[in-house]
Chains A and B, each alone.
Chain A
Amino acid sequence: MLNTTDIHKSTLRVSLAVCLAMIITHYFSKTHSFWMVMMAFLLAQAEFGFPLRQSLQRFFWIVLILFLSVYLYPLLESVKYLLAFMSLMMLVIAYSYAYILPNAGGFHFALLWLMIILLSLLMPAPFTTAGYVKDILVGAAIGMGVRLIIYPDKPDFEFSKRMQLLLKSLSAYFSSLMDLMLHEAGSEQAPAFNRQQVEDLWVHDFPAWVYVKGFNPRLKAGQYYFMVHLGQIVEILFAMNHFAHHPFEQALLTPFRDMLKDCKQRTQELIETTLALLEGKQLTVSQNDFIEDIQNLENTFQAHIPINLELLGISRDYINLAAFICYIKELRMQLLQLAATMRR
């Protein structure tokens, strides 16, 4: 999901690209056609993170469609054939668009193809004169150039910003789950609200560029590693939600109450430390500070709950508490790995 600043930047880029293309078309183009502006308009809208790769891909597909339309055009000069082709094409494009839609980005490729196909078929194909070819190439250069030069992407900065937002929401969600587990006053509503925040950020603010082939190789390894482990943290929190809602007997939780509160605090401290590292601060993270409480919790669990796994399975409370403590430990380990990565 684009934030306000991103929307300003992308809108300004597209507007500048269109205006520049219009000026060049008016003063320098022999054909005075709309193709230069159209190419600039389309290619200035490449997504964040891999603009050059995506622009080149779009350019390739647009040129391919235009090239094919040269051969298709004579075959479709009858309205009946055009209708048959358009109907089939619309069926395929509409289906693919609706199939992917729930998680598609804004400028879906299917619509781009649709537009170019329609434009290329509804008017004489421009590849027949050099003037049109130049218009298309210049328009593509304008679109790509504006996209790369005006407000160039800063994936390291953007990644850090998004991860900070996500970590803050994860911290709030974790805190609310712990409060729910310990039956703290007023803890019933907070997990649902915080869960919604996490879901929204994960679905809409996900840095998808990290997984794209053309992404900056210098940044890719680190961000890829971070996303893989952060993804596991999000999974852990969703899993913890299931166990936190279990109605534990209060007597069972009493020996663990203070330790769980301590774990909650230490985990939040670790998240704060990771946030500070993301902001570029130089901090030392002592692993021992963040392992001792988990070990105490495990030892207390083994002291109070039967460690024999067969006996463990007798009571749902025992097994769910064991699972919850396992997840607290794994969450801590994942966070320590992230913090250790940030320090390097």
Chain B
Amino acid sequence: MITTSLAKQALIPLQPLPLHHALCTFIITLLVFACVDYFPISQVSIFQGSISHIPISHTSISQASWLILSSLLLSQAGLRMELKVHQIWPVFFYLLYGLLAAVGVVVMSLYRNFGLIMVVIFFTTTLTGYAAGFKRTYFFAAWVINLLFILAAFSPVGFGLALQRGYLIVIGSFLVFIPRLLFFLYQRPRKLFYIRAIFYHRLKAVYQLIFYSLGLSPRFLKFEREESHFQMAWRNGLAALQLLKTNLADSDPQVDLTREAEITHLNQIWDITMSLASLRYRLRDDSVLKMGQNELQAIWQMLSLIWDVLAQGNEKNLISPYLDRLQIAIQGLESFYQSTLQTVTQEPLVLVLFIQDLYALKEKLEL
């Protein structure tokens, strides 16, 4: 995994999956422009002319632009499918998209009859809308294909140039397919690692808000605004958890039992997180928690480190020292509760349950 000390301090931490996807896209971009500029695939330049020489009735885009447009748009449209499906066959959808787009663009480029064009565009827009709506995972790229059809309808050309457009789109789909296939094969054994990293980052964000609501940072938002922030954060965490569980369930059937156990384990960590989060609406007197700021800060620091280590995909034994320190921090909070908080608070049971949940979380993390 590629992380640097600078990246850790960045506003958006560099995560492996988006980084590798961005690099794959970069390679596709280079390949596309290499094809355009250095190989005799398309003999026309990208630009029709400089800005001062725009034709009055300019409706066409350059031939090379078809290659660039189709490949760069398709390179992004298939990512959702790659994330959700574990098998290799969806990668071949890039070729299918390219072929459909090529055939459609060739046909649309030849039409001159406005009525016919309109009927066909209506039909393709409807069809692609349904495909993208009902099977979003596989056919999210359908709207990209429809876009190319619309562009082709407004750029009528002769048969030779129309065929060249189709040819360029097919070339473009191959330029996308090959890096995406290699990316898929590279990240397939690592995909679980990437998706785990996303989940643990999101989980850390949830814990950050939990401890923020417990008074570790000054509160400057109204209660309902804070609640909505928290809700969006844990919803994002739940989405990441769902994605992780889907990928675990689809992965190597020979390790079914291990995957099942991991899914159960993740659910348990999530459930305890929700239980810990309940303190923010159970405890009516915030001043009680202000007294235990140091203890809560110590717990948050340890949890933060643990989530970071788990997000980096390190072996569980690497979090053992942090778990020991977490145990000490929780015991510190418990001692403070017994010595001070239980006499001050009007809701002692709430704090007892919170402390017990922390112990339960620590036990789950040890497993």
Interface residues of chain A, those whose CB is within 8 Å of chain B, are 2, 6-7, 10-12, 14-15, 18-19, 22-23, 25-26, 31-34, 37-38, 41, 70, 73-74, 77, 79, 82-83, 86-87, 90-99, 101-103, 106-107, 110-111, 114-115, 118-119, 122-125, 128-129, 195, 199-200, 202-203, 206, 211, 224-225, 227-228, 231-232, 235-236, 238-239, 241-243, 245, 309, 312-313, 319, 322-323, 326-327, 330
Contact = CB atoms under 8 A, between A and B. Distances in A.
Contacts of B6: none
Interface in B82-122: 83, 114, 117-118, 121-122
A124 B61 CA distance: 9
Contacts of A25: 154
Contacts of B8: none
- The prevalent SS among residues of A at the interface is helix
23 contacts: A11-B125, A14-B125, A15-B125, A41-B125, A70-B51, A79-B45, A87-B30, A93-B25, A94-B22, A94-B76, A103-B239, A122-B46, A123-B48, A124-B54, A202-B238, A231-B231, A238-B270, A242-B275, A309-B342, A312-B349, A313-B356, A326-B350, A326-B353
Nearest to A86: B29
Please name the 9 residue pairs, one residue from A and one from B, whose CB atoms are nearest each other, closest first.
Answer: A11-B129, A7-B133, A242-B271, A98-B18, A239-B275, A94-B25, A34-B154, A103-B239, A95-B22
B140 A18 contact: no
A83 to B, nearest CB: 4
B304 to A, nearest CB: 20
A309 B274 contact: no
Interface string B333-346: 00000000010000
Interface string B18-30: 1101111110111
A327 to B, nearest CB: 8
B58 A124 contact: yes
A124 to B, nearest CB: 4
Nearest to A124: B54
Interface of B: 12, 15, 17-19, 21-26, 28-30, 33, 36-37, 45-51, 54, 57-59, 61-62, 65, 68-69, 72-73, 75-77, 79-80, 83, 114, 117-118, 121-122, 125-126, 129-130, 132-134, 136, 140, 143, 146-147, 150-151, 153-155, 195, 198, 224, 227-228, 231-232, 234-236, 238-243, 267-268, 270-272, 274-275, 277-278, 281-282, 342, 348-350, 352-353, 356-357, 360
Contacts of A239: 271-272, 274-275, 278
Contact of B51 (A97, A128, A323): A128
Nearest to A319: B356
Contact of A90 (B29, B69, B77, B274): B29
A87 B28 CA distance: 9
Contacts, number: 250
B132 A106 contact: yes
A224 to B, nearest CB: 6
A330 B134 contact: no
Contacts of A33: 58-59, 154
A32 to B, nearest CB: 6
A322 B274 contact: no
Given A15-B122, A19-B118, A82-B46, 12 more contacts: A7-B133, A14-B129, A15-B125, A15-B129, A87-B29, A94-B75, A98-B17, A101-B79, A102-B195, A199-B242, A224-B228, A242-B271
A110 B253 CA distance: 36
Contacts of A15: 122, 125-126, 129
A129 B54 contact: yes
Given A115-B73, A122-B68, A322-B353, A90 B25 contact: yes
B18 A330 contact: no
A20 B277 CA distance: 51
B274 A77 contact: no
Contact of B118 (A23, A203, A232): A23
A74 B50 CA distance: 7
Contacts of B240: 102-103
Given A122-B61, A203-B235, A91 B25 contact: yes
A202 B357 CA distance: 24
**Most chain A beta-carbon neighbours within 10 Å: one of B59, B76, B236:** B76
Contacts of B73: 111, 114-115, 118
A235 B125 contact: no
Contacts of B37: 79, 83
Contact of B117 (A7, A22, A129): A22
B165 to A, nearest CB: 13
B174 to A, nearest CB: 18
A97 B121 contact: no
Given A94-B22, A102-B243, A202 B235 contact: yes
B15 A83 contact: no
Contact of B272 (A118, A122, A242): A242
Contacts of B114: 22, 26
A98 B22 contact: yes
B278 A236 contact: yes
Given A74-B51, A91-B26, A309-B349, A238 B274 contact: yes
A103 B277 CA distance: 21
Nearest to A229: B227
Nearest to B348: A309
B17 A227 contact: no
Contacts of B17: 98
Given A33-B59, A98-B21, A203 B242 contact: yes
Contact of A94 (B21, B57, B117, B241): B21
Contacts of B117: 22
Contacts of B147: 38, 41, 115
Contacts of B349: 309, 312, 322, 326
Given A102-B243, A128-B54, A309-B349, A10 B76 contact: no
